[in-house]
Amino acid sequence: MENNEYPIRVYDHEYGGDMNGLGEIIFSSFSKLLECFTHYIQELENRKNFEIIPDFFHIDPTRAGKTGVDYWLGWVSMEKENDELFGDN
Protein backbone atom coordinates (compact mmCIF):
# COMPACT_ATOMS: atom_id res chain seq x y z
CA MET A 1 0.00 0.00 0.00
CA GLU A 2 1.12 3.53 -0.71
CA ASN A 3 2.75 5.07 2.38
CA ASN A 4 1.84 1.93 4.36
CA GLU A 5 -1.75 3.16 4.63
CA TYR A 6 -3.47 -0.21 4.93
CA PRO A 7 -7.25 -0.43 5.33
CA ILE A 8 -8.63 -1.24 8.78
CA ARG A 9 -11.00 -4.22 9.07
CA VAL A 10 -13.17 -5.58 11.82
CA TYR A 11 -12.04 -8.92 13.26
CA ASP A 12 -14.34 -11.21 15.23
CA HIS A 13 -12.14 -12.56 18.03
CA GLU A 14 -14.43 -15.60 18.37
CA TYR A 15 -12.67 -17.02 15.30
CA GLY A 16 -9.51 -17.44 17.38
CA GLY A 17 -6.98 -16.50 14.72
CA ASP A 18 -8.87 -17.94 11.74
CA MET A 19 -8.87 -15.47 8.85
CA ASN A 20 -12.60 -16.13 8.33
CA GLY A 21 -13.09 -13.77 11.26
CA LEU A 22 -12.12 -10.79 9.10
CA GLY A 23 -15.02 -8.50 8.39
CA GLU A 24 -15.58 -5.49 6.24
CA ILE A 25 -13.20 -2.57 5.91
CA ILE A 26 -14.35 0.14 8.31
CA PHE A 27 -11.59 2.73 7.73
CA SER A 28 -9.48 3.33 4.65
CA SER A 29 -6.29 3.68 6.73
CA PHE A 30 -4.92 3.96 10.23
CA SER A 31 -4.65 7.72 9.79
CA LYS A 32 -8.40 7.89 8.96
CA LEU A 33 -9.14 5.76 12.03
CA LEU A 34 -7.21 8.26 14.16
CA GLU A 35 -8.91 11.22 12.50
CA CYS A 36 -12.37 9.73 13.16
CA PHE A 37 -11.51 8.74 16.73
CA THR A 38 -10.09 12.19 17.50
CA HIS A 39 -13.23 13.78 16.11
CA TYR A 40 -15.37 11.37 18.15
CA ILE A 41 -13.70 12.12 21.50
CA GLN A 42 -13.72 15.87 20.85
CA GLU A 43 -17.44 15.83 20.06
CA LEU A 44 -18.50 13.67 23.02
CA GLU A 45 -18.64 16.67 25.31
CA ASN A 46 -21.52 18.19 23.33
CA ARG A 47 -23.18 15.37 21.39
CA LYS A 48 -24.35 11.82 21.96
CA ASN A 49 -22.14 9.07 20.59
CA PHE A 50 -24.77 7.87 18.10
CA GLU A 51 -24.98 11.40 16.69
CA ILE A 52 -21.21 11.55 16.11
CA ILE A 53 -20.57 8.21 14.40
CA PRO A 54 -22.27 9.20 11.10
CA ASP A 55 -19.65 11.97 10.78
CA PHE A 56 -17.21 9.16 9.94
CA PHE A 57 -18.97 8.84 6.57
CA HIS A 58 -17.81 12.36 5.66
CA ILE A 59 -14.35 12.09 7.22
CA ASP A 60 -13.62 8.79 5.44
CA PRO A 61 -16.12 8.53 2.57
CA THR A 62 -14.27 5.81 0.66
CA ARG A 63 -14.42 3.23 3.48
CA ALA A 64 -16.34 4.25 6.60
CA GLY A 65 -18.91 5.80 4.28
CA LYS A 66 -19.09 2.84 1.87
CA THR A 67 -17.76 -0.56 2.91
CA GLY A 68 -18.12 0.23 6.62
CA VAL A 69 -21.50 1.97 6.53
CA ASP A 70 -23.52 -1.08 7.69
CA TYR A 71 -21.05 -1.73 10.51
CA TRP A 72 -21.25 1.86 11.74
CA LEU A 73 -25.02 2.10 11.36
CA GLY A 74 -25.24 -1.01 13.54
CA TRP A 75 -23.29 0.85 16.22
CA VAL A 76 -25.52 3.90 15.83
CA SER A 77 -28.62 1.75 16.30
CA MET A 78 -27.20 -0.05 19.34
CA GLU A 79 -26.01 3.17 21.00
CA LYS A 80 -29.35 4.88 20.34
CA GLU A 81 -31.20 1.92 21.92
CA ASN A 82 -28.89 2.03 24.94
CA ASP A 83 -29.51 5.75 25.31
CA GLU A 84 -33.28 5.27 25.14
CA LEU A 85 -33.18 2.43 27.68
CA PHE A 86 -30.60 3.74 30.11
CA GLY A 87 -30.14 7.45 29.35
CA ASP A 88 -26.99 9.30 30.32
CA ASN A 89 -25.31 7.35 33.11
Residue 33, pLDDT score = 97
What pTM value is reported for the model?
0.87
The total of other beta-carbon atoms located within 10 Å of residue 62's CB is 14
Residue 27, pLDDT score = 97
Sequence spans of domains, the chain = 2-86
pLDDT digits (tens, 9 = 90+) for 75-89: 999 999 999 999 865
Does pLDDT of 49 surpass 60?
yes
2 — pLDDT class (breaks 50, 70, 90): confident
Q: Maximum Cα–Cα distance for the chain, whole Å?
A: 45
Residue 68, pLDDT score = 95
